[in-house]
Structure 1
Amino acid sequence: MAINREWHAINKMPRNATLDERVIWHIKHASNCDCREMPPSIKRELLARGLSVPAPRSLK
């Protein structure tokens, strides 16, 4: 799994991020980097909101 260092440098997870901020960050992360899978808690939240869980870089 490759890390997109440039994207990570520009897009830091906000300190004390809310659940909404975490969900948004992980969706953007999945579309720009495939360094790791989305955490299970975020996947569950996406499904609870009626959204699909994106595969890494599937949204780009």
Structure 2
Amino acid sequence: MAINREWHALNKLPRGATLDERLTWHIRHAANCSCRDMPPAIKRELEARGLTAPTPRSLK
């Protein structure tokens, strides 16, 4: 999988981030980088909230 180094350099997940901050970061990450899959716990929380994460492929 390809990493978007520029995006990662500009978008650091803060240490001690809240769940909402983590969800937002992972949604943005999924839309901008394909270096890894979203953690299962984040996927479960998104599903519980009725949300789906975009992927670079889904945004084209």
The TM-score with structure 2 as length reference comes to 0.89
- 8 Å Cα contact 1:4/1:35 also seen in 2: yes
- 8 Å Cα contact 2:30/2:53 also seen in 1: no
The share of aligned pairs that are identical, in percent, is 75
Q: In angstroms, what is the RMSD of aligned CA positions? A: 1.3
For structure 2, the 5+ residue unaligned runs are none
The TM-score with structure 1 as length reference comes to 0.89
For structure 1, the 5+ residue unaligned runs are none
Q: Give the ranges of 4+ consecutive aligned residues of structure 1 lying more than 6 Å apart after TM superposition.
A: none
Q: Which residue of 2 aligns with 1:39?
A: 39
Partners of 1:59 and 1:29 lie apart in 2 by 13
SS of the residue 2:44 aligns to: helix
